[in-house]
Amino acid sequence: MHRRLIVFILLLFTIQVSNAAVTAIRAGHLIDPEAASVTDNQIILVENGKITAIGSDLQVPADATVIDLSSRFVLPGLVDAHSHLGITYKMEPESNYYYLTTVMDGTPLRAIQAFSNGFQILAYGFTVERDLGNAGNYADTALRIAIEQGWVPGPTIINSGIIIGSMGGQFWPTPEREFLVYPEYLDADTHDEIIKAVHKNMLYGAKVIKIMVDSKPYGYNVEEMKLFVKEAARADMKVAGHVQTRDGALRAVEAGIWSIEHSGALDDEIHKMMAEKGIWRVGTETPQTDYHPISEKRWKRTVEGLKSAYKRGVKMAFSTDADYFVPGMNRGEITINFLKSWKAAGIPARDILKIMTVNGYKVCDIYDERGPIKVGFPADIIAVSANPLDDIDALRDVTFVMKDGMVFKENGTVKPMNFFHSGPEYGWRKR
């Protein structure tokens, strides 16, 4: 009887798979960002959320849902390699709204903020978000699981859990309020504390380990960072290091961490070292805007830093560090506006596009399983009206977004109800 039940269940599963709906995308101009090439008049077949075939002469099944993008430029989804979905604070000069927000907004609210920000970013074509902390008590993990189980639409989340730092993290609490550092930061000063902090983030669903390299005068030395790298590698995870000083950057390079987050402390000499060791530069290059005014000196340094890294051949990823609210703008608009920095550095459009796609998948360590428009890969596909290989600002007008084979945005209109259902496909939960 037991064997008959198993056979019956397997037959039901087989029937369900064989009857799965097929979607056929007619792509007028299919872009390969890695090769910086365009192939015209392609058909992309999608079934069970994955790409099953790509070609110009494919037979489209009679019962397939056909999506006509014959007048569009079709390409894989974009990546923001350094974001903070679980925090949205009011930005004002000489204010401490960031710190106040971390104290006043609880994890449930932060999880809802994270969903809203992820929703907005997906509508702008960002199908992958590397979410590096500031999400309360693992709101980032909650969002990732909710998206993976199909409860809500959103980008693929590569989350860090709680940021790990030497005592105090980025905060400078009073002795009476020392406890306010958690859960924004995990204090880890000794080798045992470092190992335990890494294990805690692994346990609660992190996919990358983020550390504060030098936010305190007693920041991490080379040996301690090598311990982070070694311990993270046990779970095939990488270490991202928040860097504020030149000395901290030099230690991080020597330790061989995966990526250096933020670029303010980097110079041409460090860029040369990073290129030689293959360390990623996730620079979070803030553009000069009315809503985020920065000094001319800082703006010039931002642009010159990008030029230096590009010239030296440093591996770079598009990243924003966006964690703030701007009246009249959503998080997607704020994110795509970072194109201004890359354009100001004179980096060619085709290279910016590769940085926003291929490099993003690589720094997220998912390149072999998700990202490119490739047979067997999840169907994360976007479309724009003009060719971003010629003008990168074409990415400002994403008219179509498909995530995991489901249409999220079509003809410029978001269709989130395609993603919602009555519950997860499986009875168990995978962190």
Q: Is residue 181 one of the residues assigned to a domain?
A: yes
Structurally, how many domains does the chain consist of?
A: 2
Tokens of 71: 């007048």
Per-residue pLDDT at 3: 54
Q: Is residue 313 one of the residues assigned to a domain?
A: yes
Same domain as 347, residue 376: no
Same domain as 98, residue 55: no
Pick the last residue of a domain from 363, 383, 400.
363
Same domain as 84, residue 71: no
Q: Is residue 122 one of the residues assigned to a domain?
A: yes
- How far is 237 from 133, CA to CA, in rounded Å? 16
Up-side HSE of residue 131: CA atoms within 13 Å toward CB? 36
Domain limits for position 224? 78-363
- How far is 293 from 71, CA to CA, in rounded Å? 38
Beta strand 239-242 pairing with 259-261: parallel
Instruction: Mention every residue, 6+ apart, whose C-beta is less than 8 A from residue 267.
Output: 246, 305, 308
Per-residue pLDDT at 179: 87
Instruction: Mention every residue, 6+ apart, whose C-beta is less than 8 A from residue 146.
Output: 115, 152, 154
Per-residue pLDDT at 198: 98
Same domain as 330, residue 185: yes
Q: Is residue 431 one of the residues assigned to a domain?
A: no
- How far is 383 from 73, CA to CA, in rounded Å? 5
Give me the CATH number covering residue 267: 3.20.20.140
Same domain as 406, residue 328: no
Contact assessment for residue 296 and residue 302, using Cβ atoms and an 8 Å cutoff: no
Give me the CATH number covering residue 378: 2.30.40.10
Environment class of 34 (CB within 10 Å of its CB; exposed 0-12, middle 13-18, buried 19+): middle
Same domain as 256, residue 153: yes
Per-residue pLDDT at 308: 98
Distances (CA, A) of 252 to 70, 171, 202: 47, 21, 22
Per-residue pLDDT at 203: 98
Pick the last residue of a domain from 343, 363, 383.
363
Pick the last residue of a domain from 318, 336, 363.
363
Same domain as 220, residue 184: yes
Q: Is residue 425 one of the residues assigned to a domain?
A: no
Assess whether the previous peptide bond of 372 is cis (omega < 30° from 0).
no
Per-residue pLDDT at 428: 44
Contact assessment for residue 252 and residue 222, using Cβ atoms and an 8 Å cutoff: no
Same domain as 329, residue 402: no
Predicted confidence pLDDT, tens digits, the chain (431 residues):
455 544 444 444 443 333 469 999 999 999 999 999 999 999 999 999 999 999 999 999 999 999 999 999 999 999 999 999 999 887 665 556 777 888 888 999 999 999 999 999 999 999 999 999 999 999 999 999 999 999 999 999 999 999 999 999 998 988 998 888 999 999 999 999 999 999 999 999 999 999 999 999 999 999 999 999 999 999 999 999 999 999 999 999 999 999 999 999 999 999 999 999 999 999 999 999 988 888 999 999 999 999 999 999 999 999 999 998 888 999 999 999 999 999 999 999 999 999 999 999 999 999 999 999 999 999 999 999 999 999 999 999 999 999 999 999 999 999 877 776 545 554 444 55
Q: In 3-state terms, what secondary structure has residue 115?
A: helix
- How far is 212 from 162, CA to CA, in rounded Å? 11
3-state secondary structure 222-260: HHHHHHHHHHHHCCCCCEEEECCCHHHHHHHHHHCCCEE
Q: In 3-state terms, what secondary structure has residue 13?
A: helix
Q: Per 3-state DSSP, what percentage of the chain is helix, strand, and coil (rounded to 5)?
A: 35, 25, 40
Q: Is residue 426 one of the residues assigned to a domain?
A: no
Same domain as 163, residue 284: yes
Tokens of 392: 């990168």
Length of the chain as a residue count = 431
- How far is 99 from 340, CA to CA, in rounded Å? 28
Same domain as 86, residue 134: yes
Same domain as 401, residue 328: no
Q: Is residue 37 one of the residues assigned to a domain?
A: yes
Per-residue pLDDT at 291: 87
- How far is 322 from 313, CA to CA, in rounded Å? 25
- How far is 208 from 294, CA to CA, in rounded Å? 30
Beta strand 209-212 pairing with 163-165: parallel
Q: Is residue 427 one of the residues assigned to a domain?
A: no
Same domain as 346, residue 218: yes
